[in-house]
Amino acid sequence: MIRHIVYFSVRSAAHRQQVLEGLRLLEANPHALRLEVGENLKLDSLGNDVDFVVYGEFTDVAALEAFKAHPSYEASIAAVRPIRDLRMAADIAAREDQQSS
């Protein structure tokens, strides 16, 4: 399983709702086993530059690629890219022993 985590910050507080709505377009994408879009609660005392997080779980790399090829992904990019600041992504392979918990 592949875990795909993407972090976003907005350029202006005035765009927060637009970014959130644009990221939520991804929820219509059928290729993720699990997909969550959420606002950073900013509970960490060491840094809170991230405003939103997209977390997805995919059966394999092919499913992640299909996710990125889906029209909802392109629509999300079109809505979010012009008004976001930071975008950082990480993809990790889930450890076998963690998949059953």
Over residues 79-92, mean pLDDT: 96
Is residue 97 scored above 80 in pLDDT? no
| Residues of the chain above pLDDT 90, percent | 89
Domain region containing 85:
2-41+50-99
Give the confidence band of 47 by pLDDT, cuts at 50, 70, 90.
Answer: confident
List, in sequence order, every beta strand (DSSP E) within 1-101: 2-10, 34-39, 52-58, 84-93
Domain count, the chain: 1
- Mean pLDDT across the chain, nearest whole number? 94
CA angle 100, 68, 58 (to 5 degrees): 5
| Residues of the chain above pLDDT 70, percent | 95
Is residue 98 scored above 90 in pLDDT? no
Tell me if 2 sits within 8 A of 63, measured CB to CB. yes
For residue 89, give the CATH number of its domain.
3.30.70.100
Over residues 76-82, mean pLDDT: 97
Q: For 80, what's the count of Cα atoms within 13 Å in the CB-facing half-sphere?
A: 28
